[in-house]
């Protein structure tokens, strides 16, 4: 394994962000939902055990399908509270879109230290003392204001109501809590889902990839400074409208939001959950800057991006729909019938990620 392979395999199979079932007993919720289903038969379409981007349920007695997602963006609020809160909201909105819905409502929860306490905002925030000269000392209240402005700005940009939330000053940790829940209404005939459906389907990316959101690379020692994802307001709106236009063609077979660990994670999870594999040409990915490495294209968490899967014969129609809304899009790969995923750049293999890493590999990464 090279370093970037180790980074993604760790993210996918060890890090709790992608493995919440190792910390939370989802069978408890399954048992509960089975009981509630007797009261509201067929209301829950996609639940927490589905490993998908968001939940989907039907309002009993109606034809209204609702999609909902809760997401936290706590650690990034230490160096960049405004952008982190905005991207947390934007990420939850993309999760809702990924299921085939338009986001409409948001609730937020903010937890922080007492309002008068001082906090360090910037690269040294986690250390508790600035040594870089680029940080800013402010009160917890000032940081809250930045976080709330970030959430509000993203909601205004995307046409989403803020309808409520919660607040607490009982937190003592350096990291504040920033949690949002987004609710949307289904616009597709049925929920779209993350798992890949068929070998031969083409993988289309919407949006451009940058060097920000390098958390996974930083943890792997492949980046010297953590650069949290930057909020991309206009691009986020364009990507949403372009994605919804693609849905209107009725030709989308699978869809994923591009979040933590970027293209690498989204492709690998889709293929693995579908019992398939994939091959992706990273040099076909539209980028925001020429000064970007193959590893950054592979794994960075730049905002305002989505992945779609379509049959080859429908690619032109879907790309036309995306571009009708000024969306940037490209075909970057294909689903296949392998049990692993290959990522190349100009013909050279950047990473090969198995769907089922060996026990020896997992033991090494856990150590």
Q: Express each pLDDT in 331-341 by its tens digit.
A: 999 999 999 99
Whether residue 267 contacts residue 280, with contact meaning beta carbons closer than 8 Å, is answered with yes
Cα 276 from Cα 264, distance rounded (Å): 15
Residue 226 has a pLDDT of 78
For 317, the 3-state DSSP assignment is helix
Residue % of the chain over a pLDDT of 70: 100
pLDDT at 92 over 90: yes
Rounded to a whole number, what is the distance in angstroms from the first to the last CA of the chain? 15
- Which CATH number is 202-366's, of 1.10.287.370, 3.30.365.10, 3.30.465.10, 3.90.650.10? 3.90.650.10
Give domain limits for the chain. 53-186, 202-366
Residue 26 has a pLDDT of 87
* Fold designation for 53-186: 60s Ribosomal Protein L30; Chain: A; (3.30.1330)
Whether residue 82 contacts residue 146, with contact meaning beta carbons closer than 8 Å, is answered with yes
Give mean pLDDT, residues 215-243.
91
Residue 235 has a pLDDT of 97
Confidence of residue 15 (pLDDT cuts 50, 70, 90): confident
pLDDT at 96 over 90: yes
The 8 Å CB, 24+ separation contacts for 294-298 are: 294/345, 294/348, 294/350, 295/4, 295/217, 295/222, 295/350, 296/209, 296/210, 296/211, 296/214, 296/217, 297/209, 297/263, 297/345, 298/4, 298/8, 298/262, 298/263, 298/264, 298/343, 298/350, 298/351
If phi > 0 it is left, if psi is from -120 to 50 it is alpha, else beta; for residue 144 that is alpha
Whether residue 199 contacts residue 338, with contact meaning beta carbons closer than 8 Å, is answered with no
């Amino acid at each position: 394994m090279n370093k970037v392979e180790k980074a993604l395999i760790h993210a996918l199979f060890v890090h709790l962000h992608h493995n919440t079932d190792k910390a939370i007993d989802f069978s408890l919720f399954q048992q509960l939902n089975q009981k509630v289903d007797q009261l509201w038969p067929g209301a829950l379409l996609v639940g927490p055990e589905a490993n998908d981007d968001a939940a989907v349920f039907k309002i009993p007695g109606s034809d209204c399908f609702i999609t909902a997602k809760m997401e936290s963006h706590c650690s990034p609020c230490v160096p960049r509270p405004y952008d982190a809160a905005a991207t947390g909201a934007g990420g939850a909105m993309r999760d809702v879109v990924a299921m085939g819905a338009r986001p409409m409502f948001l609730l937020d929860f903010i937890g922080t230290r007492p309002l008068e306490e001082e906090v360090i905002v910037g690269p040294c925030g986690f250390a508790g003392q600035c040594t870089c000269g680029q940080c800013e000392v402010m009160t917890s209240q000032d940081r809250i204001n930045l976080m709330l402005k970030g959430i509000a700005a993203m909601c205004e940009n995307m046409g989403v109501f803020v309808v409520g939330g919660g607040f607490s000053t009982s937190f003592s940790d350096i990291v504040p809590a920033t949690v949002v829940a987004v609710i949307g209404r289904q616009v597709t005939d049925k929920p779209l889902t993350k798992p890949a459906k068929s070998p031969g389907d083409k993988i289309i990316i919407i949006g451009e990839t940058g060097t920000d959101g390098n958390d996974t690379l930083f943890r792997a020692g492949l980046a010297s400074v953590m650069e949290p994802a930057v909020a991309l307001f206009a691009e986020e709106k364009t990507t949403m409208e372009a994605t919804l236009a693609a849905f209107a063609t009725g030709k989308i077979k699978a869809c994923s939001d591009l979040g933590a660990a970027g293209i690498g994670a989204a492709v690998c999870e889709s293929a693995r959950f579908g019992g398939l594999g994939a091959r992706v040409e990273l040099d076909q990915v539209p980028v925001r800057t020429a000064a970007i490495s193959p590893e950054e294209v592979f794994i960075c968490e730049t905002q305002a991006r989505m992945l779609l899967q379509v049959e080859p014969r429908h690619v032109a129609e879907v790309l036309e729909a995306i571009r009708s809304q000024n969306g940037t899009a490209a075909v970057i790969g294909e689903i296949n019938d392998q049990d692993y995923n290959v990522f190349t750049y100009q013909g050279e293999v950047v990473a090969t990620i198995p769907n089922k890493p060996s026990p020896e590999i997992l033991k090494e990464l856990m150590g």
